[in-house]
């Protein structure tokens, strides 16, 4: 069953993760406790909150980051979204979301968790909920050109040192620093 494999993979990624701060480690433990109490916590149908899968998409040289101008959030953010029952793992979900939202074939994903984040949101359920976001590093092939999907108001590459106005600057800067440390 996919919800079980998604759940197991989220627990595995969080257990193997070595956060860069005490706050991130506290969030890791909170997410593990959430998953311990929510067997279907990786699916959007779990109204109190659910695991989501995001990707920091960098170009082949890691000089540019692909951001989407999210229609609901109204800011430039990383790609990502809900896990689906067809996803075997949270890594699969992150890669599927990055591919769907970028229109880029041949993306590669680092299966190690890059970071985690939680935020309140009214998502497609239409009621307030909480996203417990697992974030992964994805690299695009050289010369990749994004194709905007219906899920985005705009989609484009930005230099990692020159992010757009209305970007989640602190979050993206932090993710880029973590990605650079892996190189």
Query: Is 72:48 a contact under the CB 8 Å cutoff?
Result: no
Measured distance CA(125)–CA(58) in Å, rounded: 30
Among 119, 125, 136, CA closest to 73: 119
pLDDT at residue 171, as a whole number: 84
Name the residue with tokens 């190690």: 112
pLDDT of residue 60: 97
The model's confidence at residue 116, banded by pLDDT at 50, 70 and 90, is very high
| pLDDT at res. 125 | 66
Sign for the pseudo-dihedral over CA of 89, 94, 95, 100:
positive
- Is the pLDDT at 1 greater than 60? The verdict is no
| Residues paired with residue 77 on neighbouring β-strands, in sequence order | 68
CA-only gyration radius of the chain, Å: 15
Round to whole Å and give the CA distance between 83 and 93: 5
pLDDT at 72: 79
Instruction: Provide mean pLDDT across the span 28-48.
Output: 94
More confidently predicted of 122 and 25:
25
Confidence of residue 3 (pLDDT cuts 50, 70, 90): confident
Contact status, residue 46 vs residue 40, Cβ threshold 8 Å: yes
With 80 as the cut, is the pLDDT of residue 6 above it?
A: yes
> From CA 153, how far away is CA 118, in angstroms rounded?
23
Confidence of residue 19 (pLDDT cuts 50, 70, 90): very high
Helix (H) or strand (E) holding 22: helix 22-37
Mean pLDDT of 28-54: 94
Alpha-carbon gap, residue 152 to 98, rounded angstroms: 12
């Amino acid at each position: 069953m996919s919800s079980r494999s998604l759940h197991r993979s989220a627990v595995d990624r969080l257990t193997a993760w070595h956060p860069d701060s005490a706050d991130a480690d506290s969030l890791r433990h909170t997410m593990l406790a959430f998953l311990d109490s929510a067997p279907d916590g990786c699916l959007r149908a779990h109204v109190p909150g659910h695991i989501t899968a995001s990707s920091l998409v960098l170009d082949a040289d890691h000089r540019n980051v692909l951001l989407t101008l999210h229609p609901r959030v109204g800011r430039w953010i990383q790609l990502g979204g809900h896990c689906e029952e067809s996803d075997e793992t949270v890594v699969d979900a992150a890669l599927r979301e990055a591919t769907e939202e970028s229109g880029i074939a041949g993306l590669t994903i680092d299966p190690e968790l890059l970071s985690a984040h939680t935020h309140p949101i009214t998502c497609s359920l239409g009621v307030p909920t909480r996203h417990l976001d697992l974030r992964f590093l994805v690299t695009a092939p050289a010369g990749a050109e994004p194709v905007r999907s219906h899920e985005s108001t705009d989609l484009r590459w930005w230099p990692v040192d020159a992010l757009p106005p209305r970007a989640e600057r602190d979050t993206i800067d932090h993710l880029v620093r973590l990605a650079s440390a892996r190189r």
